[in-house]
Amino acid sequence: MTRAAQRLLAIQSALTNISVSDDQKVDNFILPDGAVMTAKADSVSPTNYIHIDGLIVCEYHLLDRTAQLVISAVGTQFENTASHVPNFQVIEIIPSSQVSSPQTSRNDISVKDIWATVYALFTLYHDQEIIPIVLSQEINNSEELRSYLLRSGLGRTAHAPTASKEEIYLHRATFWQGAGTQGYHNRGWLPPSSFSVAPFPLIPSFTRTPIVISGHPLRPPKPEPGETLFRRFCPSIGETLEFTYFDLRSGSTTSKHLDTFHRWHNSERVNKAWGERGSLEKHRAYITEIMNDPGVLPVIMSWNGEPMGYAEITYLKENHVAPHIPGGPGDWDRSLHVLVGEDKFRGTVRTNLWHRALIHYCFLADPRTESVMGEPKADNPSIIKVDFDSAMHIRTIFDFPYKRSALFCVPRYRFFRLDLL
């Protein structure tokens, strides 16, 4: 069997071989707004609870029936019988019979709590592309919640004559794309901010530098120094990952970000990769130049508030990589340039988490971003493995004056279709 055929079989296996393990738990899961959620999937108990900050916001039952969503099979002999797509157990969401949240009437579920419930379900059943649910008629505002799920894109109906009218199919791909967050509540991964309101309107702009001449869309104004751009709890290690816009401060006063950036670049390991060893003033000038570039976001990455790395998130259209991209980049496509400064935060598990989270942020920040790319040295096997593990592929290999690069790319559709988050 050829390597290409083996890889296609592996992808097929990842998409279709679904096994939901029993007794999975979400314990002390920190939601992006700081609320603490606990949930449990138990195939034995008929009732499962979603707790947020100690209150039971809803319950859910696994019904004695399954459902399947294959839109392309509607109206054909394969409707409800396709063997290549799994049938999933239908989950009924009901109001809590024990405790009612003080923010809602009894038997109501708030929009932000139903979003958290969807979050819990896709954490418990993360390897399911869809989760079929029904909203109990015991929920006073069930029609409001149904409208929210469908209008936001979190869920859809089957649109098939034989399908149940009450079932809503929650989509993992749309959930992780931020459906049902902005404009609905402040519990999403992008904290409330004028910077995070997307999309920024399209108006032409232009960049001319010694290495770039490019027309491109006008970019949004930069965030405030130190502003949190992204926050997500990673249950596999029990820590929260944050991306914060670089806080440089003005004048001669230093900052925690600048001191940390300076220390990292004077380590042998980081200098070998970036070649930016130097004085504090050199690094202040470097960051100042980056912050003055409308097309680049300098970001400090941290675990539980402790800085661990630095990233530059760049619009490709006005970047010197653009001429090397076959067919050219899209107007909103972005690239990543990253370093991990703290040795204790290195390792495959953490690296895959922050790398995928950076890609996730790029796609969340603007729905018009179709691809995220990177251009590591072609002879750097460690970062190349990370790129492959994030569902990237090699588009081409090209030469800068100072290095040979492999251009890696992940399209939006693939990133969210696979179980990467």
CA-based nearest residue to 371, from 400, 421, 328: 328
Which of 129, 242, 318, 375 is labelled catalytic?
A: 375
Amino acid at 61: H
Torsion of CA 183, 127, 347, 241, to 10 degrees: 20
Length of the chain: 421
Amino acid identity of 224? E
The DSSP bridge partners found for residue 93 are 60, 135
The beta-strand segments (E) located in 81-218 are 88-94, 130-135, 155-156, 168-171, 204-208, 213-217
Q: Per the structure block, which two tokens stand in for 238?
A: 């029990």
| C-beta of residue 338 within 8 angstroms of C-beta of residue 352 | no
Name the residue type at position 319.
N
User: What is the residue whose two structure tokens read 């440089």?
Assistant: 248
CA distance 277 to 271: 6
The residues near 411 (Cβ < 8 Å, ≥ 6 apart) are 370, 371
Q: Is-catalytic flag, 375?
A: yes
Q: Is the CB of residue 89 less than 8 Å from the CB of residue 66?
A: yes
Q: How far apart are CA 130 and CA 85, in angstroms?
A: 11
Please identify every residue annotated as catalytic.
375
